[in-house]
Amino acid sequence: MMFKKILIPLDGSELATSVLPYGQLIAHAMKGEITLLNVLEPDATTHVNPVDWELRKIEATNYLEEMRQTLDPALAIHHQLLEGKPVERIIEYAYQNEADLLVLCSHGRGGVNDWQINGMGQKIIQRTDKSVFLIRACEAADHEVNAHDTLRILVPLDGSQRAETVLPFATTLAQQSQAELLFVHVVEQPSILQRTPPTAADKELIDQLNGRNQEEAEEYFTYLKSCLPIDVETKVVVGDNVMSTLHDTVREEAIDLVLFSAHGRSGIDQWPYGSIVSNFIQYGTTSLLIVQDLSTTQQTPKGETEAPELLINALQS
C-alpha cells in the first residue's frame, strides 16, 4: 500500500499545523498529493449571523491558503472548507475522496493535557479504518521535522502476514527519506499455570521454548533482510510482556516513529486496531504511523513459499 492521497485536518491551532512538515515528508516519499481540510462548526447554542458566518468562511479559506503556501510548491496541494461537526465531516470526506492516509496531531485547539491524545483525535482514529499518521503534540512542538532529519523508525513484527504489510511502505520511506529502520520481534516469556514455584524441569522447558523462539525469530529476520533492497537493523528481545517490552525498546533505542500494521497475528477485524496498537495510541509517547492491513478474508494459510512471494511481489509493485 502506498499513500497517494494524504488528508490533513486543521483546526486553526498551532499544534494542528505543526503536523504539516510530517505530511510533507510522507508526500515526498510516496509521491502523493495533500489535501488540507478545515471544518467550520456552527455554535448550536446561538443563532448564526449570516454576515459573521460568511466572514468566518473567508477567514478559514485564507487560513488554508496560508498553510498551503508554507508547503513545498512542487507538491500537489489542495484545500477544502466544510461546515458541520468536525469529526463526522472529516471521516465523511476521507471516505468520499478515498484518502489513503490521515495525518493528525494528538492535540489541537484545546492544547496539551495529561492525556496522550485528545478526544477529537481519538474519535477520528476509532471510527475510521484508514491508515493514520499520529503526531504527538509534544514532539511536533519541540522539533520540526525536515528533509535533512534522519528518523529512527521502529517496526514491530510478529512474523504474521498482516504485520508484514508495512514492509513495502517502510522500505520506500527509508529509501526516500534516509530513515533508519529497526525491526523488532519480542519473544514473550512462556508461562505455566501452577500454584507452586516452577520446578527445575519447568525452568528447563521454558528455557528451551525461549531458545527455540529466539532461533526462529533470528532466522525470520535473516530471511526478511535478504528480500529487502536496503539495510535494516534487527533486534530480538525476550520479555515478560510484548507491550511493555516494546515501550521499553522505544525509549532505549531513541525511536522517533513507530510504524505498525493495524493488526498482527491475533488481530480481529471486528475492531479497527489490535491490542498492542490500541495501547500505543493511548499510552505511547512517540509518533505512530498505523497502516491498515489485509482483512482476514484476504489472507491465505502461510506456507513455506507463500510469504516470500507475497513480500517480493509487494516490494516490486
* Domain spans in the chain, listed from the N-terminal domain onward: 5-142, 152-316
CATH number for 5-142: choose from 3.10.20.600, 3.40.50.620, 3.40.50.10210, 3.30.70.360: 3.40.50.620
Predicted local distance difference test score (pLDDT) of residue 10: 94
Predicted local distance difference test score (pLDDT) of residue 272: 79
Q: Do domains 5-142 and 152-316 have the same CATH topology?
A: yes
Helices 167-177, 306-316: axis angle to 10 degrees equals: 40
- Is 38:12 a contact under the CB 8 Å cutoff? yes
The domain covering 152-316 belongs, at the CATH homologous superfamily level, to HUPs (3.40.50.620)
Helices 242-252, 275-283: axis angle to 10 degrees equals: 50
Predicted local distance difference test score (pLDDT) of residue 111: 54
Predicted local distance difference test score (pLDDT) of residue 251: 96
Q: pLDDT tens for the chain, 317 residues: list them.
A: 579 999 999 988 888 888 999 999 999 999 999 999 999 988 766 777 888 889 999 999 999 999 999 999 999 999 999 999 999 999 999 999 999 999 998 876 655 555 556 567 788 888 888 999 999 876 555 556 555 577 899 999 999 988 999 999 999 999 988 899 999 999 998 777 777 788 888 888 888 999 999 999 999 999 999 999 999 999 999 999 999 999 999 999 999 999 999 998 876 767 778 899 999 998 998 999 999 875 544 434 444 434 444 444 444 44
